Amino acid sequence: MKKLVAGLALTAMASACGGDGTSPVPASTVDAGAPLVSVEDGDATSTTSTTPTTSSGTDSSRDASSTDLVTTTSLTTSTVPATEDMNQESLPGSSDNTQPSGSSPSADPDVRDCLIAALGKQVYDELANRQPSAEEQQAMGPCMRPTQDNTEPAETTAPKEPTKPADPNSSQPSQDQTPEIITVTYPSTSYSVAPGGTSGFFKTAQEADLTLSAVDFNKTGGPLRFNRPSGLTTDGTRLVMTDVFNNRVLIWNSAPTHTNQAPDIVLGQPNFTTNEPGSGRNQLNWPLSASTDGTRLAVTDTYNDRILIWTEFPTSNAEPADIVLSGGANANPSKSNIRWPWGVWTNGSKLAVASTESRSVLIWNSFPTYDGQPADLLLTGSGHLGTPRHITSDGNSLIVGDHNATAGGVNEAGTFFWNSFPTTDQQPYDFFLTDPLGGKEPAGWLRGDFSDDQRLLMMGSTLHVWDEIPRSAADRPSLSNLGQAKAGGYNFRWGDYSTVAEVGGRVYITTNGSTLVVYNSIPTSATQSPDFVIGASDLYVDANIENFVMSNPVPVSNGKNLFASSDFDNRLFVWRNLPNESGAAPDVVYHFCWYRNEETASRQQCEDVFGPWDNTLYGDNFALAGGTRLLIWNELPLEGNLPAYDFKNGVGSVPFGELTGVAMDEHYFYVADKRAGVVYVWAGIPDGTHEPIASLTVNQPTGLSSDGTWLAVNSTMGHSAQLFRVDQIESSRASTTVGGVGAFNLPQGTTVDKGHLFVADTGNNQVHVWQDVDDAIAGQSADVILGASGTSDTQPEITRNQMFWPAATSFDGNYLWVGERKFSGRLVRFSPIG
C-alpha cells in the first residue's frame, strides 16, 4: 500500500476552474483542520504534511450564485506532463505553424473533435498551415476557452512509480502532482433554529413539521420555479410543459421568447404557487408527458396510472379533464392496462401511450371518446420493450424511447423505430438504435419533435438533428451537439425529464437541472449553446443546486447539527444548527468534484468525482462512504475543514468494491461493501495500519446504523434488515432478520437509535417505526407508520402526511429526519407529538 499524508493548500477558485482573473476576490479563511491522509494502493513511501494557507473566494460561481466560495485542494500522486504556452496564432497542441498538412494540429482529442465539428475536417487540416479567418476564429472559440494563465489544461496520467509528497514548506502543488480539489461554498443563510426538547413519540399518519430541499409543503415558488420540467409539446403557437415534481402542467399561449416570460395557464393546480397532488379530474400526481394537436390535449398522470384528455384546449387554471383512460389490476401487457404511463402522443385522430410498467405501447386508431376506452392495438416490440418511456411521431412513423430495452440481449437504454405507423397488433419494429453517432457510449433513449420543415430533433445524452427521419440504425444525424463530454459542447443535463420541441423556429429543451433552455433558431453548429434560459439565473446553472434542491438526500443529525449527503449531487450539505423552517439553505456545501478550467466548468465535467452513498457521525467524528472511497473527519465538517483520512480503493488489505454503508459507535467502525456482500468491522476508526476484527456476511448490504447496542444492516434486495448485537460481533456474529418479502418493498435504509427502529420502506412509500427494537426482533408489527394512513396505503405523494420514496432516516432524540429518493428529493422532519 502506498500511503501519502498530503498537504493542504487552499487556492482561489479562479485558479482551479479557470476564470478571467480580473474581478475582485475577497479574502476568506478556512480552518483546514487536520492534514488530509490520502491512501491508495501501491508501495509504502514516507509521509509529510503541508501547513495550511489562507484561501481566496470568488463572489459568485456557476453552481450557487449567492454563495461565498473557496476551493480546497489536497495533493495526490499523479504525474502531470509539462505544458506549453498556447500560441494565439496556432491551434492548441501545435508549437508552430510548420506542421504538415493532414497531420493532427491538436494533441487533445476532445479539442480536436470539437474543432472538426465546428469547422469541418478540411478546414481543420488547412489551419495547420494558415491563419484562421475572423469567422473561423469565432467558430473555434467554444473549443479553445483558455485557463486563467492562458496555457492548455494539463493532461493527467497515472504515475509509473511512487512519487514524492509535496514540499512541506510549499503551499503549491509540486510539478509532478495534480491537485485534487473539494469545492466548499458558504451560502448566505438565515433561518430559525429548532428548540429541541421534544417529548412523547410518533403517531401513524402524523404530519411532518417542515421540509428542506423544497420551498415548503404545497408551495412551488411561483410560475417560473420548476422542479423537473418535462413533457414539451406544441401546436405551432402554444407551448405546453409538464412540471413533474410540482404536479402541474404549464401552458404558454404563445411560446416564450425571453427569460422572464411566465406561463398563462396551469393545469392540476388552482394557481401557480401550489403543488399538492390529487386524483380528481382537475388534479395530477407526477405528470410526465403531454401531447396536443391544437384542439385536444393528452397528459400522462403517471402515478395515478391514467391518461387525462381535454377534448377542447384548456383555457383556465385547474380546468378538469373531459376523458380519463385508466385500468388494469396488474402489470401484464393488455389493451386495457395502463400502468405507470410515461409517454403519450396524438395528432388529434390517433393516440399512442407508453404503458411503462406493463412493458407495452397502446394505440387508439381513432381518438378516444369515453372514459376507460381500451386501445385498438398493442405493441411489445416482440417482447423487447422493457420500460418504454417516450413516444415521438409525425403520424407516419413511430419512435419509442426505452430505458431498459432488451433488443440487444441485455437491458440497455435505446430507441425503437417503426418506419410506418403500426396498423396491426404486435407489428415488429424496423430497427433499434442505441447511439445515434454509431459509438458504444451510453447515449440515452431518444425523445423529440418534428420541426415545421420536417427535420427530426431528438434529445438523448445530447441534442441530435436529422434532416429527415432515419430509416436504419446507420443513418446518422446531420448535426449533434458535442454535449457534456467533449470540449465546446453544452451540458443539457440530460436524463429522465429531457424533452425537446420546436415552435416557430425556436427550439425548447427541458433539462434535469430544472430549467428550460431555448435556441432562437435550430442550431447549425455542434458547439452552439442555447440563447437563453428560463428557470435559472444563468444558462450554465443547475437550478436544483442553485436552489438547494437535493437528489437522494441521506440525513444524519446529532441533535445540534444536520448533515445531508447526496450521491447524485456529489455533495455534502451542512446546517450548523437544526433548521426550524422549510426551505432553509445550508450553511456549508462540500462539492466532491473539480474542473480543469472554465470551459470544463461550464459543462460540469468533473474530475475525481465522489458520490457518497451513506454517512455517519459519532462525537466529533464524521464519515462518508460511496463507490470505492471512504472519507473520515476527526472534527465535524462544519467550517469547510477537510477530512483526516481519504481512503481510495481500500483500507489495508481490505479492497473496496461498492461501498453502500458506513456507521460507527463507541466500540466499532463499520463499512458495508455491497459487491462483496460483507460488512467490515474495525475496532476504532481505521487508519490503514490495523485490520478488521470481524467480517459479517450479508446479502447486498445497502445501509448501516448503530446505536452501540444494535447494528442494523439494511438489505434492499432482501426486502429486510439484519440486526446484530454489538457485544456479540466478535463472538457469535449471529443476526436476526426483520421484514422480508411481503413485509417491505425494496427498503433503502434502516436506522436504530436509542432503542428505536426505523425502516424506510421505499417501494411502499412508508417509514415503519418500532418504539422498542426488541418488538421488531420478536416479529411484532410496527407501532407507527409514517407517510401513510396504514400499511395498505402505498401511494406516493408529496404532502405533509404522505411520502414519496422515503429512503434514509436519522433520529437525533428530538426529531426524525427522512430523505426521499430519485423521483422526489425532499428532506422532511417529524417531531414526536405525544
Q: Are residues 556 and 527 in the same domain?
A: no
**CATH number of the domain encompassing residue 769:** 2.120.10.30
465: number of CA atoms within 13 Å, CB side?
20
Residue 113 maps to a domain: no
Please give the pLDDT value at position 51. 25
pLDDT interval class at 181 (50, 70, 90): confident
> Using CA atoms, how far apart are residues 668 and 179, in angstroms rounded to an integer?
33
Residue 334 maps to a domain: yes
Mean pLDDT value of segment 551-558? 98
Q: Are residues 406 and 555 in the same domain?
A: no
Last residue of a domain, one of 496, 514, 540: 540
> Using CA atoms, how far apart are residues 541 and 65, in angstroms rounded to an integer?
9
pLDDT interval class at 113 (50, 70, 90): low
Q: Are residues 321 and 463 in the same domain?
A: yes
Last residue of a domain, one of 476, 509, 540: 540
Please give the pLDDT value at position 17. 31
Please give the pLDDT value at position 117. 65
Beta bridge partners of 405: 412
Backbone angles phi, psi at 185, to 5 degrees: -115, 150
Could you tell me the sign of the dihedral formed by the alpha carbons of 678, 682, 688, 689, in that order? Answer: negative
Q: Are residues 419 and 475 in the same domain?
A: yes
Please give the pLDDT value at position 506. 98
Give per-residue pLDDT as tens, 473-483. Answer: 999 999 999 99
Least confident interval from 6-20, 245-259, 304-318, 531-545: 6-20
**pTM of whole model > 0.75?**
yes
Residue 756 maps to a domain: yes
> Using CA atoms, how far apart are residues 342 and 390, in angstroms rounded to an integer?
6
Supply 131's cell numbers.
Answer: 491563419
Q: Are residues 532 and 608 in the same domain?
A: no
CA 316 to chain centre: 34
Give 195-201's long-range contacts (Cβ < 8 A, gap of 24+). 195/580, 196/559, 196/578, 196/814, 197/814, 198/814, 198/815, 198/831, 198/832, 199/832, 200/832, 200/833, 200/834, 201/771, 201/783, 201/784, 201/832, 201/833, 201/834
Residue 89 maps to a domain: no
Question: Residue 796 in contact with residue 808, Cβ under 8 Å?
Answer: no
Please give the pLDDT value at position 147. 32
Residue 103 maps to a domain: no
> Using CA atoms, how far apart are residues 351 and 779, in angstroms rounded to an integer?
50
Mean pLDDT value of segment 153-176? 28
Please give the pLDDT value at position 130. 62
pLDDT interval class at 518 (50, 70, 90): very high
- Among candidates 21, 34, 168, 11, which has minimal Cα distance to 631? 34
Kindly state the percentage of the chain with pLDDT values over 90: 74
Please give the pLDDT value at position 95. 32
Residue predicted with more confidence, 629 or 64: 629
Query: In the predicted model, is pLDDT for residue 555 greater than 80?
Result: yes
Question: Residue 229 in contact with residue 510, Cβ under 8 Å?
Answer: yes
Supply 89's cell numbers.
Answer: 496564432
Last residue of a domain, one of 506, 540, 574: 540
> Using CA atoms, how far apart are residues 286 and 409, in angstroms rounded to an integer?
31
Least confident interval from 160-164, 235-239, 456-460: 160-164
Identify the residue whose cell numbers are 388529434: 348
Q: Are residues 492 and 570 in the same domain?
A: no
Residue 199 maps to a domain: no
Question: Residue 543 in contact with residue 560, Cβ under 8 Å?
Answer: no
Residue 111 maps to a domain: no
Kindly state the percentage of the chain with pLDDT values over 70: 79
Give per-residue pLDDT as tens, 23-57. Answer: 322 222 233 333 344 443 333 222 222 222 222 23
Mean pLDDT value of segment 545-552? 97
> Using CA atoms, how far apart are residues 53 and 8, in angstroms rounded to an integer?
8
Query: In the predicted model, is pLDDT for residue 152 greater than 90?
Result: no
Query: In the predicted model, is pLDDT for residue 174 greater than 80?
Result: no
Please give the pLDDT value at position 49. 27
- DSSP per residue over 171-189, as a string? SS--TT-EEEEEEEEEE--
Please state the three-class secondary structure of 688-703 as a single string: CCCCCCEEEECCCCCC
Buried b (16+ CB within 10 A) or exposed e, 54-78: ebbbbebbbbbeebbbbbbbbbbbb
Please give the pLDDT value at position 28. 29
> Using CA atoms, how far apart are residues 668 and 666, in angstroms rounded to an integer?
6
Q: Are residues 597 and 693 in the same domain?
A: yes
Mean pLDDT value of segment 417-429? 98
The Cβ of residue 752 has, within 10 Å, a number of other Cβ atoms equal to 25
- Which domain, by its residues, includes 733? 548-830
Amino acid letter for position 281: R
Give per-residue pLDDT as tens, 117-136. Answer: 667 766 766 676 666 776 66
Q: Are residues 534 and 584 in the same domain?
A: no
Give per-residue pLDDT as tens, 195-235. Answer: 999 999 999 999 999 999 999 999 999 999 999 999 999 99
Amino acid letter for position 36: L
Amino acid letter for position 33: G
Q: Are residues 569 and 484 in the same domain?
A: no
- Among candidates 198, 273, 202, which has minimal Cα distance to 788? 202
Q: How far is CA 66 from CA 120, 168, 221, in A?
A: 40, 35, 17
Q: Are residues 280 and 369 in the same domain?
A: yes
Please give the pLDDT value at position 39. 42
Residue 101 maps to a domain: no
Q: Are residues 487 and 586 in the same domain?
A: no
Please give the pLDDT value at position 157. 27
Please give the pLDDT value at position 121. 65
Backbone angles phi, psi at 35, to 5 degrees: -60, 145
Identify the residue whose cell numbers are 430507441: 415
Please give the pLDDT value at position 50. 27
- Among candidates 667, 666, 665, 692, which has minimal Cα distance to 679? 692
Q: What is the rounded (10 degree) CA torsion for 430, 374, 447, 508? A: 140
Q: Are residues 181 and 234 in the same domain?
A: no
User: pLDDT averaged over the chain?
Assistant: 84
| Angle 737-739-742 from CA coordinates, rounded to 5° | 140
* Number of domains the chain is built from: 3
Element containing residue 670 per DSSP (H, E): strand 668-673
Please give the pLDDT value at position 822. 96
